[in-house]
């Protein structure tokens, strides 16, 4: 299928993916970033800040930024690494991956440049496949060590999800797990609640998480199911009112309609020997749910509801 590559007024080339039921996704070459995912009813499923800055070298607030080779400030590089503010290329020679029947896909690649190597003296290739199918968006990141010596990295796919009202959202699947609380100097705690609900700022890295997490939006009667492999950690972030006002690229009230739940490898960096490759995978599906009327047990979503 030929790629639909368009150049918008912001000057950032983007690839438009479409599939037969009418859902769409848009992927920028800048940052290799998914900036839109709409269902067959043309409803936007990802959050994008109205104040997002679309001019390099700024990172774009919203969608699904790729944090590599460092998440957050877990290292000596700039916040969240540099992959999200580099221009990627179309990967004309992607390694064979599982078949993409009934999917619309694009393969992107980012290779280390002299500028990157000055900051992070390792030679690498970072690939990303973005695939769209009915009700589902799949991202497959791969990192190859093209250096003569081993290196390690941390990574996250930062999923900015669009929600109706953050105070009506709950996250299932992270109960009883340990987490780092970034609001308290990265202290380690154990989650005591039977689900995560929101009434203030949250910035946590949950550790050794299951492969499936459910984000239940009562008001929209919609559940996002996040499935992931190769990325054992999960980040949950919402800035709440004070932090939102302090962020120049986020509207003062926009924290109410967004929630970030990241697939990540943070606590234990991924180590690669020379010419070794790591591969991860995440799949987000949006299913309608009537949980708010008591008809859907969120645990069924977690444990096998398709």
Q: Taking CA 199 as the corner, what is the angle to CA 195 and CA 205, rounded to the nearest 5 degrees? A: 55
Q: Which residues contact 130 (CB under 8 A, 6 or more apart)?
A: 17, 25, 27, 34, 105, 106, 108, 137, 138, 139
Tens of pLDDT, residues 182-198: 999 999 999 999 999 99
What's the rounded Cα separation, in Å, for the pair 65 and 263?
11
> For residue 292, what pLDDT band results from cuts at 50, 70 and 90?
very low
Joined together, the tokens standing for residue 144 give: 């190859």
The CA-CA-CA angle for residues 211, 215, 218, to 5°, reads 155
Q: Which domains does the chain have, with CATH numbers?
A: 4-291 (2.70.98.10)
- Phi and psi angles of residue 62, each rounded to the nearest 5 degrees, phi first: 135, 180
Taking CA 159 as the corner, what is the angle to CA 156 and CA 162, rounded to the nearest 5 degrees? Answer: 170
pLDDT of 306:
41
pLDDT at 304 over 80: no
| Model confidence band, residue 99 (pLDDT cutoffs 50, 70, 90) | low
Structure tokens given for 249: 């690229």
- Per-residue pLDDT for 266 more than 90? yes
Give the model's confidence band at 101: pLDDT under 50 very low, under 70 low, under 90 confident, else very high: low
pTM score, two decimals? 0.92
In this predicted structure, the answer to whether residue 162 has a pLDDT above a threshold of 90 is yes
Looking at every residue in the chain, the average pLDDT score rounds to: 92
Is the pLDDT at 293 greater than 50, yes or no? no
| Lowest mean per-residue pLDDT among 90-104, 182-196, 228-242, 250-264 | 90-104
| pLDDT at residue 98 greater than cutoff 70 | no
**Three-class DSSP category at 290:** coil
Tell me the mean pLDDT in the region 224-251.
Answer: 98
Q: Is the pLDDT of residue 147 over 80?
A: yes
Buried residues in 250-266 as b, exposed as e (16+ CB within 10 A): bbeebbbebbbbbbbbb
CA quadruple 80, 82, 87, 90: dihedral, nearest 10:
-80
């Amino acid at each position: 299928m030929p790629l639909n590559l368009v150049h918008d007024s912001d000057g950032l080339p983007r690839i438009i993916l479409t599939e037969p039921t009418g859902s769409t996704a848009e992927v920028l070459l800048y940052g290799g970033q998914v900036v839109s995912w709409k269902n067959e009813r043309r409803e936007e499923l990802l959050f994008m800040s109205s104040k997002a800055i679309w001019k390099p070298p700024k990172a774009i607030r919203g969608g699904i930024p790729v944090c590599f080779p460092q998440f957050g400030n877990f290292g000596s590089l700039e916040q969240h690494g540099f992959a999200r503010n580099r221009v990627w290329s179309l990967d004309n020679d992607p390694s064979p991956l599982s078949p993409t029947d009934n999917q619309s896909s694009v393969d992107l690649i980012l290779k280390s440049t002299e500028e990157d190597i000055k900051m992070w003296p390792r030679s690498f290739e970072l690939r990303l496949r973005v695939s769209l199918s009915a009700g589902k968006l799949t991202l497959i990141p791969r990192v190859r060590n093209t250096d003569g010596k081993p290196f390690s990295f941390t990574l996250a796919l930062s999923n900015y999800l669009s929600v109706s009202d953050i105070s009506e959202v709950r996250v299932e699947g992270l109960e009883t797990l340990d987490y780092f609380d970034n609001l308290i100097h990265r202290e380690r705690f154990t989650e005591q609640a039977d689900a995560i609900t929101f009434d203030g700022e949250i910035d946590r890295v949950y550790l050794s998480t299951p492969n499936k997490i459910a984000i239940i939006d009562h008001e929209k009667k919609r559940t996002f199911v996040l499935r992931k492999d190769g990325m054992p950690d999960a980040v949950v972030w919402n800035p709440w009112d004070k932090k939102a006002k302090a962020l120049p690229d986020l509207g003062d009230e926009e924290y109410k309609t967004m929630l970030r739940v990241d697939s990540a490898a943070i606590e234990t960096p991924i180590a690669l020997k020379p010419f070794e490759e790591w591969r991860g995978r995440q799949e987000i599906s949006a299913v309608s749910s009537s949980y708010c009327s008591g008809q859907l047990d969120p645990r069924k979503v977690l444990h096998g509801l398709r």
